[in-house]
């Protein structure tokens, strides 16, 4: 900084000797690879899952991490985009998909070490513009550039769905090489946000805001609406061969053992919103909340007990690590509950 006793003319002379500053160039996060950082394990992460014996977690600014030692150490994967990632799913130890904002779908064939883009907002806009407003299923297209995707699920290495805000749904039958709009296949005339897609036995469910619950009718190729006792948002679904469990705002949880025909409220003892859950190898069910709670049920989600967690934080995702405990991700990165 120039000292106050420098005359203005001297300051101007000095400034005239400086090279002209280049105008900043905008870099689209969609096309900008995620930055590598030694602090990535402490950065906000939105989801974690298993890829065989490996853990894979995704989060803000395109960060993808993986661990081969039950969450003790993590490595950062090569991610081709710095768009925020919201969910990740693997069908086996090698094949997996991650989704995020700007319609981003990434695919990995090596257990999450490297990723390639399969879908983005430009392709989504083109696909939707090819359809009539009725076929587009109420998804706002004109002027849209984001198209946030919020969850992903694949039945096998070929057949899968991605879902998101404003009734955004795409389906693939070739592992993500090609995608078909499925928003018109949803009983969601208000265009409500879709937060979770999960199977329970041989039945596939989608849950969203304002108590929205949909079940796939495979014969009609349509997700049909189901009534539930709750009008608040369902943020996630946990399915077993015996039941489907819907979790959401203010600790609310509802279970169904008849494929969504009837629902029973579960007393979680929480007022904080439930964000995610998983079925463990021993059949127990674990849930996490935005207040740092970790709940475990050993009776098919009829009752839950709270685990003691050191340094609790807002948790967004959870994955089973067997006898090593639970892998937790959230606002403060990765954590382990044993």
In a domain, 315, yes or no: no
- Residue 57 in any domain: the answer is yes
User: Residue 143: pLDDT band by 50, 70, 90 thresholds?
Assistant: low
Percent of the chain with pLDDT over 70: 89
Q: Tell me the CA distances in angstroms from 225 to 126, 232, 242, 248, 253, one per residue in order.
A: 28, 15, 20, 18, 18
Pairing of strands 116-119, 149-154: unpaired
240, 281 Cβ separation under 8 angstroms: no
In whole angstroms, what is the distance from residue 106 CA to residue 128 CA?
A: 20
d(CA 224, CA 217): 7
User: What is the structure's pLDDT at 24?
Assistant: 67
The residue segments making up the domain with residue 176 are 33-283
In a domain, 142, yes or no: yes
In a domain, 105, yes or no: yes
- Does 11 score more than 70 pLDDT? no
Cα–Cα distance measured from residue 171 to residue 119, given in angstroms and rounded to the nearest whole number: 11
Q: Measure the N-to-C terminal CA separation of the chain; round to a whole number of Å.
A: 54
Per-residue confidence band for 4, with pLDDT thresholds at 50, 70 and 90: very low
Segment 15-52, tens digit of pLDDT = 444 455 556 677 899 999 999 999 999 999 999 999 99
Output the CA–CA distances (angstroms, integers) from residue 293 to 188, 266, 309, 315, in the order listed: 32, 16, 8, 8
pLDDT band at 6 (very low <50, low <70, confident <90, very high): very low
pTM for the whole thing? 0.90
Say if residue 105 is exposed, middle or buried (CB neighbours under 10 Å; 0-12, 13-18, 19+).
buried
Q: Does 250 map to a domain?
A: yes
Residue 232, domain CATH: 2.130.10.10
CB-based burial label for 244 (10 Å; 0-12, 13-18, 19+): buried
61 within domain boundaries: yes
Mean pLDDT of 182-206: 97
- 259-281 pLDDT, tens digit each: 999 999 999 999 999 999 999 99
Q: How many domains does the chain have?
A: 1
Residue at token pair 């937790």:
328
Structure tokens at 214: 């949909």
The CA-based angle 329-335-337, given to 5 degrees, is: 110
Please check whether residue 290 lies inside any domain of the structure.
Answer: no
In a domain, 223, yes or no: yes
pLDDT tens digits for range 205-250: 999 999 999 999 999 999 999 999 999 999 999 999 999 999 999 9
pLDDT tens for 279-321 read: 999 999 999 999 999 999 999 999 999 999 888 899 999 999 9
- The answer, yes or no, to whether residue 112 has pLDDT greater than 80, is yes
Work out the mean pLDDT of the chain and round it to a whole number: 91
Which long-range contacts link 154-158 to residues 24+ away (Cβ below 8 Å)? Answer: 154/89, 154/91, 154/95, 154/97, 155/91, 155/199, 156/91, 157/91, 157/92, 157/95
pLDDT beyond 60 at 5: no
pLDDT value, residue 132: 56
Q: What is the pLDDT of residue 191?
A: 95
Q: Are 280 and 298 in contact (CB under 8 A)?
A: no
């Amino acid at each position: 900084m120039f000292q106050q006793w420098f005359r203005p003319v001297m300051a101007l002379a000095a400034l005239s000797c400086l090279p002209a500053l280049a105008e900043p160039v905008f870099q689209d996060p969609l096309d900008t690879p995620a930055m590598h950082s030694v602090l990535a394990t402490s950065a906000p992460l939105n989801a974690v899952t298993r890829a065989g014996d490996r853990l894979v977690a995704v989060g803000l600014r395109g960060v993808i991490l993986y661990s081969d030692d039950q969450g003790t150490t993590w490595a950062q994967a090569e991610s081709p985009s710095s768009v925020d990632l919201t969910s990740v799913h693997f069908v086996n130890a090698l094949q997996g998909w991650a989704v995020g904002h700007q319609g981003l779908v990434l695919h990995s064939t090596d257990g999450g070490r490297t990723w390639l883009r399969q879908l983005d907002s430009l392709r989504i806009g083109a696909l939707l513009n090819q359809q009539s407003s009725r076929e587009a299923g109420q998804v706002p297209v004109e002027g849209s550039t984001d198209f946030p995707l919020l969850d992903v699920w694949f039945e096998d290495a070929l057949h899968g769905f991605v879902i998101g805000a404003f009734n955004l749904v795409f389906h693939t039958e070739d592992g993500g090489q090609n995608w078909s709009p499925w928003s018109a296949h949803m009983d969601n005339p208000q265009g409500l946000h879709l937060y979770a897609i999960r199977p329970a036995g041989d039945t596939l469910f989608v849950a969203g805001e304002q108590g929205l619950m949909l079940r796939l009718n495979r014969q009609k190729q349509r997700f049909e609406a189901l009534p539930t006792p709750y009008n608040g948002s369902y943020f996630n679904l946990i399915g077993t061969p015996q039941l489907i469990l819907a979790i959401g705002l203010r600790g609310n949880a509802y279970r169904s053992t008849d494929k969504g025909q009837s629902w029973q409220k579960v007393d979680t003892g929480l007022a904080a919103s439930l964000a995610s859950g998983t079925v463990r190898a021993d059949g127990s069910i674990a849930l996490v909340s935005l207040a740092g709670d970790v709940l475990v049920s050993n009776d098919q989600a009829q009752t839950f007990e709270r685990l003691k967690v050191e340094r609790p934080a807002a948790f967004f995702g959870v994955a089973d690590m067997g006898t090593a405990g639970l892998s937790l991700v959230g606002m403060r990165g990765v954590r382990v509950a044993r």
